[in-house]
Amino acid sequence: MSTSRSYSRPIPLLAILLVALAVHGPLLLMQLPSGSFDANFHIFFASHYAHHWFEPWNEKWFAGFSQTTYPPLTHQWIALFSTIVGLNMGYMLVQLIAVLLLPVGVYRFARIWVDDRAASYAALGSVFLGSLSFLVYQAGQLATVASAALYLNALPYFYEWMSEARGRSLLKGIVVSLTAAAAHHVTLIFGVVLFAGPVIWTACLDAHDERVSASVAGVLSRAVAFGLMVVAGVAAVLLPYWLALIQHPIHQIPIPHDSRANFLLNSTIAVNYFVIPYGALILAFPFILVRGVSRRFIPLLCGFWLTFIFGLGGTTPLPRWLLGRAYEILTFERFTFWATLMAMPLVGVLAAQLLDRFQAKAAVALSLAAVGSIGGALWWLGANPYRPTGQMNVEPVIAFLNRDGHDSYRYLTLGFGSELGKVSTYTSAGSVDGDYNSARLLPEMTHYGSAQLTNAKFYGTAGMASLRAMLAHANRYGLKFVFVHDPYYEPLLTFVGWRKIETFNNGQITAWSKDDVPPAHQIPSDAIPPPWQGWLWGTLPVGVSFLAIFLELLLTEERPMPVGVGFPAPAENREQHYVA
């Protein structure tokens, strides 16, 4: 076989999965995400499911909160794995599964628009995305990655159902969509529209241009039917979540987040939320724009553009206009992730064209671009100013709380960042703080525009006002111990009457106490889910994921994916198909 021919073949999906495993497997085995912002949050939730599978009320944060405020699927899978490999490795395993599902999803998603070869390049490229590394290793957004990967796998079924009315596709599409919804709510509510819109539009175009046998009306009616069934399914699978949301809508004062800033006015924010996630993909923007105007690519281009604009946060006013109040609740790095995924089919086309034209040189350049993107994101882990406190040793704090009846009081950490989740996971004591903003109901936290009390100083006056309010009500909540990993907070504690009682890790962490605090008691709340919700929460989300696995194994495809319309055509006459 000639060299040029070897560059014109699609890469087998198995090989792509092996590459993903080779790249991300060791990083996950090294537990690199354990220092990310949200990893400990996910592990904390999983730990609760591991101990109380059917009891979503968790007393360990916010003096009590309901875990039905966050879709449980990834956490329940971690909990399941934790019985064999422990919580940390359970997290890494679930993250690895999500990372492996992603290139499969990108391949299948890309096949709606491009041929096998370009789709395989898109899938391979997705393994090296800066945005993926950013979310996995820096942000720790396990659920976002898992949910996006699952939706990408569901969308080709949706396309098949719309264009071919195959019952099998309908069934699998719905079940995989429900599984994705059970993993992450924000992806469900916002991502689905951005991803599904271009797919519906493309199916209509294909019907209109008679590339598929269906009519436009048929496509649209089947899309509506699919949508209604998914909505009904999601309503059932996540019923406790919707009930919790209806009972306690998010009325908190908006919390500042740098992803909502104008990237043009701050270079650090621009690097963190734009340069690192897009990486070498930035070089492909002109191609995406030029090639995207092909009639069949236009839906994808429009979807990409809209998602791209959302990912820019406050750099344009469009997200604020379209999202209204939700703009102040959302963070926008996930939109950048989705934008990169949506760009991948066109990037696959670009890679195919470059390889056709430059062969080995293109292969080297593309490899460098891919490695540069993931390498940049990994380098940024240690260089970014947002980096979490990382490998702080919180074992002495956990030991302190678990001894001598200290767990009959509540505690607070200051300057611990995401390590709060780790302390909470392994101590039997409860905290008034927590790392999940949407679950907070205590007025000391919701009435101020700040997030976790442990990070209060980063929210300026609002953060410190929230902390002061909580310390002022220490007796009310049985808040007796404060652990400080940042001397910034010591003057406040001193002036409001707390005393340093112990130091840990050679003074890195200090323990403070207040003498007249009574033991903690349960804070009455109307947010405690009734037992039937606990049973529903413990069965339906994880059940639907088992059903998805079962269907994927049982109802295997009779022909290679996807439905496809053989578009674009093989390499030798691709030009006339790529550009309308």
- Tell me the residue type at 39: A
Sign of the C-alpha dihedral, residues 552, 558, 559, 563?
Answer: negative
Site string for other proteins, 390-419 (x = CB under 8 A): --------------x---------------
**Residue 572 engages other proteins in binding (rule: CB under 8 A):** no
- Minimum Å gap between C-beta 412 and other proteins is 15
- Tell me the residue type at 508: Q
The smaller minimum CB distance to other proteins, of residues 301 and 540, is found at 301
Q: Which residues of 455-489 are buried (b: 16+ CB within 10 A; e: fewer)?
A: bbbebeebbbbbbebbbeebebbbbbbbbbbbeeb
DSSP sequence for 379-410: HHHHH-TT----S---HHHHHHHTSTTGGGSE
Site string for other proteins, 217-256 (x = CB under 8 A): ---------------------------------------x
Query: Is 482 within 8 Å of 414 (Cβ atoms)?
Result: yes
How far apart are the C-alpha atoms of 24 and 473, rounded to whole Å?
46
Query: Which 483-542 positions form the footprint of other proteins (CB under 8 A)?
Result: 487-497, 499-501, 513, 515-516
CB-based contacts of 445, cutoff 8 Å, min separation 6: 62, 252, 453, 466, 470
The smaller minimum CB distance to other proteins, of residues 404 and 558, is found at 404
The smaller minimum CB distance to other proteins, of residues 21 and 326, is found at 326
- Minimum Å gap between C-beta 460 and other proteins is 4
- Tell me the residue type at 528: I
Residue entry with tokens 């604009």: 309
Among 18, 232, 235, 264, interactor with other proteins by CB under 8 A: 264
Query: Which 104-143 positions form the footprint of other proteins (CB under 8 A)?
Result: none
- Minimum Å gap between C-beta 543 and other proteins is 40
Pairing mode, strands 410-414 and 430-431: parallel
**Residue 325 engages other proteins in binding (rule: CB under 8 A):** no
**Residue 283 engages other proteins in binding (rule: CB under 8 A):** no
Structure tokens at 395: 């074992």
Strand-pair partners of 431:
411
- Minimum Å gap between C-beta 486 and other proteins is 10
Among 111, 260, 296, 422, interactor with other proteins by CB under 8 A: 260
- Minimum Å gap between C-beta 395 and other proteins is 20
Among 9, 30, 235, 317, interactor with other proteins by CB under 8 A: 317
Q: How many residues bind other proteins (CB under 8 A)?
A: 66
How far apart are the C-alpha atoms of 136 and 313, rounded to whole Å?
20
CB-based contacts of 2, cutoff 8 Å, min separation 6: none
- Tell me the residue type at 403: R
- Minimum Å gap between C-beta 332 and other proteins is 11
The smaller minimum CB distance to other proteins, of residues 24 and 260, is found at 260
How far apart are the C-alpha atoms of 456 and 462, rounded to whole Å?
8
- Minimum Å gap between C-beta 389 and other proteins is 13
- Minimum Å gap between C-beta 463 and other proteins is 8
Chain centroid to Cα 324, Å, comes to 22
Among 52, 168, 320, 577, interactor with other proteins by CB under 8 A: 320
The smaller minimum CB distance to other proteins, of residues 495 and 524, is found at 495
- Minimum Å gap between C-beta 487 and other proteins is 7
Site string for other proteins, 352-391 (x = CB under 8 A): ---------------------------------xx-----
Query: Is 414 within 8 Å of 483 (Cβ atoms)?
Result: yes
Distances in Å between the Cα of 527 and the Cα atoms of 74, 236, 240, 248 are 23, 19, 11, 8
How far apart are the C-alpha atoms of 123 and 125, rounded to whole Å?
5
What's the length of the chain? 580
Query: Which 418-477 positions form the footprint of other proteins (CB under 8 A)?
Result: 449, 457-461, 463-465, 468, 471-472, 475-476
Cis omega (within 30 of 0) for bond into 562: yes
DSSP sequence for 208-257: HTTSSSS-HHHHHHHHHHHHHHHHHHHHHHTHHHHHHHHHS---PPPPP-
Helix (H, G, I), strand (E, B) or coil at 66: strand
- Minimum Å gap between C-beta 79 and other proteins is 32
**Residue 270 engages other proteins in binding (rule: CB under 8 A):** yes
**Residue 315 engages other proteins in binding (rule: CB under 8 A):** yes
**Residue 262 engages other proteins in binding (rule: CB under 8 A):** yes
User: Contact positions toward other proteins, by CB under 8 A?
Assistant: 256-258, 260-262, 264-272, 289-290, 292-293, 298, 301, 305, 309, 313-318, 320, 385-386, 404, 449, 457-461, 463-465, 468, 471-472, 475-476, 487-497, 499-501, 513, 515-516, 579-580
